[in-house]
A and B are shown apart, each in its own frame.
Chain A
Amino acid sequence: MTALTVPMKQSMKNRFIPPTSAWLTLAVFVLFALAVPRFATFGNIENVLRIASILCIVACGQAIVLILGGIEFSFGSSVALASIMTVLMLPDLGVAGGFAAGAGVILLVGALNGALIARFDLPPFLVTLGMLMAVAGFAATLAGGLPIDAPLTDAFTWPARGRVGGVPVPIIAAVLSLIALYGLLTHTHIGRLWYLVGANSEAARLSGIRVRLTIFAGYIVASGFCALASVILTSRVGSGQPGLAPNLPFETIAACAIGGIPLSGGQGRASQVLCGVLIIAMMNNAVVLLNLPVAYQQLMMAAVILGTVVLQRASAPIQVMWHLLARRGGSQ
């Protein structure tokens, strides 16, 4: 077997291929930096990152579900329910307990989604869409239809407005989420199983993988990211709101798609989530800086989603070629 060690070493080289979305992100940044006044200032970039952080954290969860070949809509109302639950529990449980109660509710919704999808082979689209509506109805009933204000103590506003070493807490949370997603996907057992089940669930079953458990775990971990985001979101708005972030699931799916994660499952990387989120955040920011009507934001978003999906599709053969050339160079 000693003769086999040489090609083994070689195969470990050249693992990194720059994704199309990374170039795209760079291009968007350079374009806006040149064309949009006040875009490339330190204060503005920090602002962009802080606003993008919630989207980024939830998109990490969405990415896991997409890799599994599923989709998750219920984030849209579960963050609303969590905010209400947090505010209602504040008097009894204190700040930490309130946030934990809100996060717990989201984990519960995730577990319920996972159980229905994994155990009964129900389509994720319908299960999570149904859950989105059910949870929205429940949240509205619980709140009586109106936002409930929370006492704005320092501890309560810390997740949204605090700083650690000068860096805003939401940005730290988003970076940690991305690192956690990267670690889960590339360095853990369960992450590998998500890819296998998402790529071909029947082949995964026949390879001896517990497909249902893998799916169940995926929805719970995904809701964990959403739970983290809900803490920051509730802290930022300072109240329990039945209509808190209805577009969240769609924005996270858009971010993943723009980053190049296909909705067909089995593929997706943390770097793609980052790129997709950054592109959306920079665009929204540019619209504000240029004083364009908000409607432009939606039109631009639509154009970017369609444009990047087409671009990703067209660049797939180039990626394969890049891989082959890189390999050839590496083995010489």
Chain B
Amino acid sequence: MTTYVAPVFEVQGVAKHYGATCALRDASLRLFPGRVHALLGENGAGKSTMVKIIVGAIQHEQGATTIDGSAVRFRSVQEAIAAGIIPIYQHLSLFPHLSIIENLSAFSYGSTRSLSAKSATISRQEAETWLKAVGLDLDPETPVEALSLGERQLVEIARGLGQKCKVLVLDEPTAALTQEEAERLFGVVRTLCSQQTAVLFISHKFDEIDALADDVTVLRDGRTVIDGEPRANLTRTDLVRAMLGEAVDIAIRDLPPPGDVTVRASRLQLHANSSPFDVAVRAGEIVGLAGLVGSGVLELASALAGARSAVSGTLKVGERAIPLGDRGRAVAAGIGYVPSDRHAEGLFPMLTALQNASASIIKSFSTHGILHREVESESILPWLQRLKLHPFQPDLQAGNFSGGNQQKLLISRSLSLPQLRALIVLEPTRGVDIAARETIHEAIIEAARNGAAVVLASSDLDEVMALSHRILVVRHGNVECELPWGAGRAALMQSLAGRAAA
């Protein structure tokens, strides 16, 4: 143990309420220089609140925070940054229309008292040094909107590195990164640690925690249940038990053999320079789509849902042809769709949970333009119960639910389609806690059991491998190869990287 080193940052017994909801009751956390500290917990356990308190975005009600042993209370993110607490957010906080160099200067723009933006802009060499530190070789004048999602995340981290960084807070930094970019990031984090930076690392992925974390703190229901134990002393089962408070059983799948082809895309061409291909998904079959960021895997999945147009091709559900990109007809034909970006493409945050879940079936509970809201409740509430919406308050605004429960609303929206023939799910469990993940997986399997053709596109390979009858590997906008169930992680990784083809 590192008992003789003083913690650089300490949180002691903090509490925080939002209205009537208690987000944190009694939570503690100690960060030591040169160590990566993983913060674990289900959605709703208080992780985000804890992180917000640490980075100064909100203020706690009880308890204390200390930096280098002296009490401190950040009143704003700016104060926390000035003290050396650098946040890297889960949702990118870059300015897409500005150049890399302007984005890298954002913190100094925030703290400058000069009216001239130029004097606060960092020098070109400085920018290049920061970019190199995260392994990016880019022109600092490039606008950020021209970068891939993975590159943007690295730019954001580069911005953090440019500060006098005592504590680096990484809130699910790898959610949008490819395996390669994630490895690069971990390298950067380890280098930083060797320079005595403390790192707070929030992730749902155990592989990453195994690879990176020195110490672990687990929150459950707003309390610290494991307080800074060295990772080596704990098994994964210990962690899961601490997070959930009980052991979880993994559902064993026993799906009947697939039926006839339900969804068929013919001569589908995604990009101008990619070649056309066919995809067919049978009733009761779960087809996994795997591909790295930028491979076209999300484009393929959304094209199959009629949510996105393509260069050419036809889409059929049974015998019914659906024009590419006509989501209205696709819904009428019974294609459910769970988009990858929950906030931008899925949620109506200020509408109620019920209204969110019923958005695709409004026609089914209206006659001559008049809504029958009792029919709406009758058709939606059973789904919300089956998906264990928590808290079970269908009239509460959707924005007040945790990420996992918001995702359940989007899944209910598709599952409640009167004649669900196909279900296209993208990233169903991104940023979702373990219990919700189980529920969502069960719902997807249940949809297949009831005869829907299911397409599952996810950057979580474990998820794709566990649920899919077969996996289509997408590269450069093409279906590169097909792997049967149980092909193994190594084979999948290899085809993702394209080594088999070379």
Contacts and interface: CB of A to CB of B under 8 A. Distances in A.
Interface string B193-212: 00000000000000000000
B360 interface: yes
Nearest to B414: A207
B359 A204 contact: yes
Contacts of A14: 395
Contacts of A323: 393, 395-396
B110 interface: no
B393 A327 contact: yes
A303 to B, nearest CB: 27
Interface string A301-321: 000000000000000011011
Interface in B392-420: 392-397, 400, 413
Given A4-B385, A189-B363, A208-B330, A196 B351 contact: yes
A165 B21 CA distance: 52
Interface stretch (B268-276, B287-295, B370-378): B370-378
Interface string A177-198: 0000000001111111101100
Given A11-B394, A188-B370, A206-B337, A199 B19 contact: no
Contact of A7 (B348, B374, B385, B396): B385
A199 B382 contact: no
Of the candidates A4, A205, A206, A317, the one having the most CB atoms from chain B within 10 angstroms of its own CB is A206
A193 B450 CA distance: 30
A8 interface: yes
Contact of A206 (B327, B350, B363, B400): B327
Interface string B330-357: 1110000101000011111111000100
B350 A207 contact: no
A209 interface: yes
Contacts of B396: 320, 323-324
B370 A187 contact: yes
B339 A206 contact: yes
Contacts of A15: 395
Contact of B370 (A7, A189, A267): A189
B50 interface: no
Nearest to A200: B348
B328 interface: yes
A196 B362 CA distance: 11
A191 B363 CA distance: 13
Interface string B363-391: 10010011101100110011001000000
Nearest to A202: B345
A203 interface: yes
Nearest to A325: B20
Interface string A1-27: 100100110011011000000000000
A207 B359 contact: yes
Contact of B345 (A8, A191, A206): A206
A200 B397 CA distance: 14
B362 A266 contact: no
Contacts of A200: 344, 346-349
Nearest to A191: B371
Nearest to B371: A187
Contacts of B369: 188-190
Contacts of B344: 200, 202-203
Nearest to A328: B20
Contact of A192 (B371, B392, B413): B371
A189 B362 contact: yes
Interface string B94-113: 00000000000000000000
A150 B260 CA distance: 73
B18 interface: yes
B20 A321 contact: yes
B330 A199 contact: no
Contacts of A202: 344-345
Main secondary structure of the interface of B (DSSP, over half): mixed
B307 interface: yes
A15 B363 CA distance: 23
Contact of A199 (B349, B362, B363): B349
Interface residues of B, number: 44
A190 B362 CA distance: 10
Nearest to B396: A323
B350 A199 contact: yes
B338 to A, nearest CB: 9
A14 B332 CA distance: 34
A12 B377 contact: yes
Given A206-B327, A210-B328, A266 B350 contact: yes
A203 B348 contact: yes
Of the candidates B18, B327, B347, B374, the one having the most CB atoms from chain A within 10 angstroms of its own CB is B327
A302 B386 CA distance: 50
Interface in A208-258: 208-210
Nearest to B417: A208
B331 A208 contact: yes
A321 B374 CA distance: 26
A195 B351 contact: yes
Contacts of A12: 374, 377
Contacts of B393: 11, 323-324, 327
A202 B346 CA distance: 8
A265 to B, nearest CB: 9
B327 A205 contact: yes
Given A195-B355, A199-B351, A207 B331 contact: yes
Given A199-B351, A206-B346, A7 B392 contact: yes
A318 B17 CA distance: 12
A190 B366 CA distance: 10
A271 to B, nearest CB: 17
Interface in B458-493: none
Given A190-B369, A199-B350, A209 B377 contact: no
A296 B372 CA distance: 48
A8 B307 contact: no
Nearest to A210: B328
A192 B381 CA distance: 18
A66 B37 CA distance: 47
A11 B18 CA distance: 22
Nearest to B378: A8
A327 B385 CA distance: 17
B364 to A, nearest CB: 11
Contacts of A8: 377-378, 381
Given A4-B381, A187-B371, A195-B351, 16 more contacts: A8-B377, A186-B371, A187-B370, A188-B366, A189-B371, A190-B369, A193-B362, A196-B348, A200-B349, A203-B339, A206-B327, A207-B327, A207-B331, A208-B360, A266-B348, A321-B20
Interface of A: 1, 4, 7-8, 11-12, 14-15, 186-193, 195-196, 199-200, 202-210, 266-267, 317-318, 320-321, 323-325, 327
7 contacts: A8-B377, A11-B381, A12-B374, A208-B360, A209-B359, A266-B348, A323-B393
- Please list the 6 inter-chain residue pairs (A to B) with the smallest Cβ-Cβ separation, ordered nearest first: A208-B331, A199-B348, A321-B19, A207-B359, A189-B366, A324-B20
